[in-house]
Amino acid sequence: MADGRVKEPVITLTAGPVQAYPRISRAMARPIHYDFDPYFQSVYEDVARKCATALRVEEPALIVHAEPAVGLEAAAASLISRDDVVLNLASGVYGKGYGYWAARYCKELLEIEVPYNEAISAAQVSQMLRTRPDIAIVTAVHHDTPSGTLNPVNEIGKVVRDHGSLFLVDAVSSFAGMDIHPDDCYADVFVTGPGKCLGGAPGLTVMAVSEAAWEHMEANPDCPGASVLSLTDWKDAWSKDAPFPFTPAIAEINGLDAALDVYLEEGPETVWRRHALTARACRAGVKALGLELWAAREEIASPTATTIKVPDGMDDALIRSTMRDVFGTVISGGRGDTAGKLLRIGHMGPVAEPIYAVVAITALAGALSKLGREVDLAAGVAAATAVIMESA
Ligand SMILES: *Cc1c(COP(=O)(O)O)cnc(C)c1O
Q: How far apart are CA 114 and CA 124, in angstroms?
A: 11
> What is the residue with the minimal CA distance to atom 5 of ligand 1?
69
Top mutation candidate among 172, 189, 307 for ligand 1, by most atoms within 8 Å of CB: 172
Q: Which of 305, 294, 290 is nearest to 338 (CA)?
A: 294
Helix (H, G, I), strand (E, B) or coil at 160: helix
- The predicted model scores a pTM of 0.98
Top mutation candidate among 91, 101, 144, 173 for ligand 1, by most atoms within 8 Å of CB: 173
- Evaluate the omega torsion of the peptide bond into residue 17 and state whether it is cis, within 30 degrees of 0: yes
The tens-digit pLDDT sequence of the chain (392 residues) is: 568 999 999 999 999 999 999 999 999 999 999 999 999 999 999 999 999 999 999 999 999 999 999 999 999 999 999 999 999 999 999 999 999 999 999 999 999 999 999 999 999 999 999 999 999 999 999 999 999 999 999 999 999 999 999 999 999 999 999 999 999 999 999 999 999 999 999 999 999 999 999 999 999 999 999 999 999 999 999 999 999 999 999 999 999 999 999 999 999 999 999 999 999 999 999 999 999 999 999 999 999 999 999 999 999 999 999 999 999 999 999 999 999 999 999 999 999 999 999 999 999 999 999 999 999 999 999 999 999 999 99
Q: What is the atom index within ligand 1 of the atom nearest the CA of 142?
A: 13
Q: 23 Cβ partners below 8 Å, 6+ apart?
A: 258, 261, 262
Domains of the chain (ranges plus CATH)? 11-17+269-391 (3.90.1150.10), 22-265 (3.40.640.10)
- 164 and 187 in contact (C-beta within 8 Å)? no
> What is the residue with the minimal CA distance to atom 8 of ligand 1?
69
Q: How far apart are CA 133 and CA 229, in angstroms?
A: 29
Q: How far apart are CA 336 and CA 338, in angstroms?
A: 6
Q: Which of 298, 297, 263 is nearest to 279 (CA)?
A: 298
Q: What is the atom index within ligand 1 of the atom nearest the CA of 205?
A: 8
Q: Which sign does the torsion angle of CA 306, 307, 313, 318 carry?
A: positive
Tally of residues, the chain: 392
Neighbours of 5 (CB within 10 A): 7
Q: What is the atom index within ligand 1 of the atom nearest the CA of 17?
A: 9
Per residue, the 3-state secondary structure of 94-126, as one string, reads HHHHHHHHHHHHCCEEEEEECCCCCCCCHHHHH
